[in-house]
Amino acid sequence: MRLLVLGGTQFVGHAAVADGLARGWDVTVANRGVSGPAQAGARAVTLDRTRPGAFGALAAEHFDVVLDTWSAAPSVVRDAARALAPATDRWVYVSSRSVYSWPPAPRADESAPVVEGDPDAGATDYAADKRGGELAAERELGTERVISLRAGLILGPRDNVGRLPWWLRRVARGGEVLAPAPGSLSIQYVDPRDLVALGLDAALAGRHGPVDVVCPPGTAVLGDVLDACVAATGSDASFTWVDPSWLLDQGVAIWTELPIWIPESDEAYAMHCSDVARAVEWGLRIRPVAETVADCWAWVQEVDAAGIASPRREGIGLDPTRETELLSLWRSQAGRE
C-alpha cells in the first residue's frame, strides 16, 4: 500500500505517517519542509500546495490513499484533489464536527444539518472552510472515493493547539489547581492516533462518506483527564473543584481559559454528546485516557527540554495570576477561608 500524507509533520499528520509506517506501507510526506523533517522511513517531497502546478512531480505516481489535513481555503483542497485524482484510489480528509450548523443538537449524528461551504472559496471561517474542503474533495474525486473524518476534540501527543499540554504543564507545577466542577462531567475526545487509524482502516475497507470521530459517550469524564495528568507528571497538585456557574459569572472563558471544559448549561456542550454509532460500526478503537495523557506528557517534556515547543495559542489556559485570584475569591465568597 502506498500512502501520501499532505502535511505529515505535526499532530494528526504526524500520527498518520507513523501509522502508515507501522503497517509496513510505503509512505510519502508532501509539504513545504518548514515544520520539521519527515519521520525516518518516510519519503519527503518538498512542495507548496498553494502554488499552481505544485503536484506535478507526484501526478505521475499512484497512491492507494491520500490523507489530507488542510484547514484553510477549500480551493487548496480542490486543487490538490484535482491534481491527484488520477493518481489515487481513496482520499481521507480530516474534517471537523464544526461543520454542523450552530447550535449543534445533542446526540446528533452525521445526518445533522451542516453549514454552507464553497469548494472554490478562499479562507473564510473554520467551519465553512472545513465544509468547503469536504465538498471540494467529493466533487473532484466522487463521493465514493472520499472519507471525511469529522473529528471533535483531539487530545494527544504533538497537540499544536495546546489544550492538553496546558493542563499537563499546569498540573506539573503542582499546588492548588482550579478545576471546573463537576469532575464527573462526561467529555468526548479522540487521540490523533485513533483518529487516523479509523481513517486508514476505512479506506482499506472501501468505505466512504462523513463519520463523526470522538469516543462514545460515557468513555471518559473530565476528572479522568486531570487525574491522569497528576499520574503522568508525578505532581503533588490538588484540585479545587469550582462551581461552573460561578466561573461563568467571573467571565472565565469556556473551552479556552479552561481547555476542554464546556459546562452542561451551555449549548456548546452538545459537542460532548455526539452519536458516534457509525464510527463504532467502522471499527473505532479508543485507547485508555491514561495512555493518551502519558504519551502527550512524554512529548511535552521532550519539546520543552529541547526548547522547540510551539507557542501557546492566544487565549489557551488561565493566566497564573488570574487563577490565584479566582481561587482566593472562591474561598472567600464561599466562606472557605
137 and 180: one domain? no
- The whole-number pLDDT of residue 336 equals 56
Residue 312 has pLDDT above 90, yes or no: no
170 and 57: one domain? no
Give the whole-angstrom CA distance, residue 1 versus residue 206: 14
Point out the domain boundary residue: 101, 125, 151: 151
Percentage of the chain lying above the pLDDT 90 cut: 92
Give the whole-angstrom CA distance, residue 327 versus residue 331: 6
145 and 27: one domain? yes
11 and 104: one domain? yes
Domain boundaries, position 175:
163-189+216-272+289-333
105 and 169: one domain? no
Point out the domain boundary residue: 124, 151, 178: 151
pLDDT tens column, 245-263: 999 999 999 999 999 999 9
260 and 146: one domain? no
Helix (H, G, I), strand (E, B) or coil at 36: coil
Residue 58 in any domain: the answer is yes
Residue 84 in any domain: the answer is yes
113 and 44: one domain? yes
7 and 136: one domain? yes
143 and 6: one domain? yes
Residue 78 in any domain: the answer is yes
Residue 281 in any domain: the answer is no
CA angle at 302 for the pair 298 and 307, rounded to the nearest 5°: 150
131 and 232: one domain? no
Number of H helices, E strands in the chain: 10, 13
Point out the domain boundary residue: 151, 177, 205: 151
Residue 41 in any domain: the answer is yes
Residue 335: pLDDT band (50, 70, 90) is low
129 and 263: one domain? no
63 and 141: one domain? yes
CATH number for the domain harbouring residue 319: 3.90.25
Residue 245 in any domain: the answer is yes
CATH number for the domain harbouring residue 23: 3.40.50.720
Percentage of the chain lying above the pLDDT 70 cut: 99
Instruction: Answer whether 248's CB lies under 8 Å from 262's CB.
Output: no
Residue 57: pLDDT band (50, 70, 90) is confident
Residue 237 has pLDDT above 60, yes or no: yes
Give the whole-angstrom CA distance, residue 4 versus residue 87: 11
Give the whole-angstrom CA distance, residue 99 versus residue 108: 13
Residue 298 in any domain: the answer is yes
Residue 195 has pLDDT above 60, yes or no: yes
Give the count of domains, the chain: 2
Residue 196 in any domain: the answer is no
Indicate the burial class of 287 (C-beta count within 10 angstroms; 0-12, 13-18, 19 or more). middle
